[in-house]
Structure 1
Amino acid sequence: MSLIIGRVWKFGDNVNTDEIIPGKYLRSKDVQIFAAHAMEGIDQEFTKKFRIGDIVVAGTNFGCGSSREQAPLALKYAGVSCVIAKSFARIFFRNAINIGLPLIEVDIECQEGDKVKVDLAKGEVTVSDRDIFKGNKLPDFLLEILNDGGLVAHRKKQSASKNINL
């Protein structure tokens, strides 16, 4: 998972969880409902234009607002392969890692539609095969959680390996 390639969808600063998944959809527990309405609070056409594997790029404080886990779930199940932002709200960051949604803190210069390559292991983003931006590399233990598909899958894997080794 350390190399992710996708097309950019660009957003600004302070994208909040209500914009990522509006509150009116939170009565459901169906992640496909969340996915169908991802980013609807900012761009009502997002899920119609978006392609699985595309990447969300934003400014500072992405995922601010409430602590709802549905926001990163909406992005993950919509098919977002990674979120790149200058900074993340801490609870969104933690929720994203917990559900296995890759993210990286880095300030990049790009345009909507650009192709980017994200190397999580190096903490780098390459824009249009020419400009490399260095960001905050995730610690190895967070990369391991992401590679396992999230915290629950990671803990199950750990438990299974302990049972095998007894």
Structure 2
Amino acid sequence: MKELKGKVWEFGDNIDTDVIIPGRYLRTFNPKDLAAHVLEGERPDFTANVKKGDIIVANENFGCGSSREQAPLAIKTAGVTAIIAKSFARIFYRNAINIGLPVIKANVIAKDQDILSINLEKGQVINESTKECFNIEPFEDFMLKILSDGGIVNHYLKKK
């Protein structure tokens, strides 16, 4: 989980949890059913075209709104391997880490279809399409272990 590589999906400001997974789909607890509708109101092409390993790059305040835990779960289940944004809603950030989805607070410049390489341990994002390099806050060892274990619950169970 230290190194990630994927295609960019670009989003703007204030992508709230109701945009990520609208309330009308919260009648199920099945992550695959949720993933089938993730971000469909913001990007109708997203659910049909997102691939395992893809990366979301957004602007300010990603994950704002309600504290619904299904939002990061739907994104992760759809195949997204990381989210990079200038800022995150605090509860969304924590919920994402809790399920093993890396969220990176950084100002990374990338467009749809660009390819990013992320090294969480070194604190580096490389836009392979433009050859730009961005420094990010390196993830601490304990965070890398939580992410590698698939989230906080799996990490705790592994330690028991």
Give the TM bin, normalised by the shorter chain: over 0.9
Whole-angstrom distance in 1 between the partners of 2:15 and 2:139: 22
**Percent of residue pairs identical:** 52
Which residue is 1:141 aligned to?
A: 142
1:13 partner SS: coil
Structure 2: stretches of 5+ with no match in the other structure: none
Which amino acid is the alignment partner of residue 31 of structure 1?
A: P
Which residue is 1:151 aligned to?
A: 152
Largest Rg, 1 or 2: 1
Structure 1: stretches of 5+ with no match in the other structure: 160-166
1:107 partner SS: coil
Residue pair 1:104, 1:137 contacting (<8 A) in 2 also: no
Which amino acid is the alignment partner of residue 123 of structure 2?
A: G
Which residue is 1:15 aligned to?
A: 15
Once the two structures are superposed, the pairs formed by residues 6-45 of structure 1 within 5 Å of their partners are: 6-45=6-45
Whole-angstrom distance in 2 between the partners of 1:95 and 1:123: 21
Which residue is 1:164 aligned to?
A: none
Whole-angstrom distance in 1 between the partners of 2:49 and 2:104: 23
Which residue is 1:128 aligned to?
A: 128
Query: Is residue 75 of structure 1 aligned with residue 43 of structure 2?
Result: no
Q: What whole-Å deviation, never above 9, does each CA across 1:80-138 have from its counterpart, x for those lacking one? A: 01111111111011000100111211101111100000111122110016211012222
Query: Is residue 89 of structure 1 aligned with residue 70 of structure 2?
Result: no
Q: Which runs of 4+ in 1 moved over 2 A?
A: 136-140
How many residue pairs get aligned? The number is 159
Whole-angstrom distance in 2 between the partners of 1:137 and 1:34: 31
Residue pair 1:15, 1:63 contacting (<8 A) in 2 also: yes
Whole-angstrom distance in 1 between the partners of 2:145 and 2:42: 32
What is the alpha-carbon root mean square deviation over aligned residues? 1.1
The TM-score normalised by the length of structure 2 is: 0.95
Which residue is 1:162 aligned to?
A: none
